Structures are given as structure tokens and as C-alpha cells.
Amino acid sequence: MTDQYFYPNIWGRSILTSAEEILGARGINALLNLVGLSDYIGNFPPDDIQKAFPFSHVAKLQQGLYDMYGSKGARVFAIRGGEETFQHSLNKYDKVQKAAQAAMSIGSTETRVKLGLNFFSKFFNAVSDQVVRIDEDDKNWYWIIEHCPMCWERKADEPVCHLGVGVLNAASQWATGGKKFRIQETSCTAMGDEDCIYTISKQFVD
Ligand SMILES: [Zn+2]
């Protein structure tokens, strides 16, 4: 099967690097062997922004975490991976970081989160083949992913796109100077839903 959608190399690299930090060298090698991606052993993708890391590889790594560590373990590791991927990306896309900071320098927490979500959705849509749109109601914002890389061609009976929770955790904390939000994946393509949807409560935790 040929791949048609890609993440930038740097995101693939960040996912692997953060997994290696958590699992150790032996753990990451075991994971890569398990999911049939042993070509990456000692050979992570380059630290560049070329769109060349297939969605199917993102999904296989997430599935592998699930197979090795179960639902809870996979969740913990993937959320941490998402946080690190976000941080690493900010450092790499330095101009984006400055533009985002300028866009969010004014207004209430709610305004800043809204500006941040819009900004990052456009950014993600520009640098990867993931398509994100934003919606909101009185209580929540919704981060909606069409053709999601994390559950690409996966089937599950619970939401599995935990990496995205980590990315959104890190993004919302960064946008608001450290405030914590309740973020949950509430619809998931792997469960048969049309899109993967993250619900972000407008009530921040502290
Ligand atoms: Zn998904």
C-alpha cells in the first residue's frame, strides 16, 4: 500500500526521540521491530521539515505502544511524546513561535486560547498533511482532525489518539503561561467516528 499523507520529518523524529527517552534504547528497538519499522533503528528521520514521515508509520508506532504497554501505558507514553514533539517543533520553527507569541500577547485567557488554537491549526495544516479545523460552543473548544495520522487504518473500541492530547496540553499551557485545561479525545476515527475530535474545556484547572 502506498502512502499518500505525511508528517514533516521533524515530527517523526520527535516521536521516536521522545519514545527512546522514555523506553530506553532497547525499548525503542523492540518497538520498532514489533511494528515492522526496524529501518529506523539507529536511523531516525532527519531533523528537517520535509513532508516524508508517512501517517501509517505514526499509527504503527502508536499501535506498538498499545501492544507493548496496554491502554494505560500507551496513553502515558503518547501524551508525553506529544508534549515533547510540540516543544521540539517550537524550537525548530522559531519564526512560528515568535508569530504565535505576537498573536497571543493580548486579551483574556479565553481569547488567547482561541487565537492559539486557530494559529496552530493553520500551522499544522501548512506543514503536514493532517487537516485540522476548530469549533466551539459555550463550554468547550473542539480540535477536529480529518484523516488522522495517529489512528490511520486502526480499529479500536476506545479513543487512541493520545499523542494529540499531549500536543494540545503543551500548546495550551504554552499559550496561556502554564494554565492547565481538561483535554479529552471524545470522538475517534478508529472507533468508527467520522473525525477525531478533542474536547478542550473552557474551564481551566488552575
Ligand atoms: Zn485519530
pLDDT digits (tens, 9 = 90+) for 96-119: 778 777 777 777 888 888 888 888
pLDDT at 104: 73
Residue range 10-22: mean pLDDT, rounded: 92
Residue 92 CA to ligand 1 center (angstroms) comes to 25
Residue 2 CA to ligand 1 center (angstroms) comes to 19
Residue 62 CA to ligand 1 center (angstroms) comes to 10
Asked whether residue 19 carries a pLDDT value surpassing 70, the answer given is yes
- Give the residue, 5 or 87, on which the prediction is more confident: 5
Buried b or exposed e, range 75-109, using 16+ CB within 10 angstroms: bebbbbbbbbbbbbbbebbeebeeebeeebeeeee
Residue 155 CA to ligand 1 center (angstroms) comes to 10
Residue 106 CA to ligand 1 center (angstroms) comes to 32
Residue 118 CA to ligand 1 center (angstroms) comes to 19
**pTM for the full predicted model:** 0.90
- Do 143 and 131 contact (CB within 8 A), yes or no? no
Residue 196 CA to ligand 1 center (angstroms) comes to 5
Report the distance separating Cα 188 and Cα 152, nearest Å.
11
Residue 149 CA to ligand 1 center (angstroms) comes to 6
Residue 144 CA to ligand 1 center (angstroms) comes to 10
pLDDT at 160: 95
pLDDT at 27: 95
Q: What is the band of 88 on the pLDDT scale with cuts at 50, 70, 90?
A: confident
Residue 128 CA to ligand 1 center (angstroms) comes to 15
Residue range 128-152: mean pLDDT, rounded: 95
Asked whether residue 123 carries a pLDDT value surpassing 90, the answer given is no
pLDDT at 171: 86
Residue 81 CA to ligand 1 center (angstroms) comes to 15
Give the percent of the chain with pLDDT over 70: 99
Residue 99 CA to ligand 1 center (angstroms) comes to 28
**Helices (H), ranges, 35-127:** 55-92, 94-103, 109-127
Domains of the chain, residue spans: 6-201
> Residue 93: which of 119, 132, 114 has the closest Cα?
119
Between 162-176 and 109-127, two packed helices, what is the crossing angle to 10 degrees? 130
Of 3.40.50.720, 3.90.1520.10, 3.40.640.10, 3.30.465.10, the CATH number of 6-201 is 3.90.1520.10
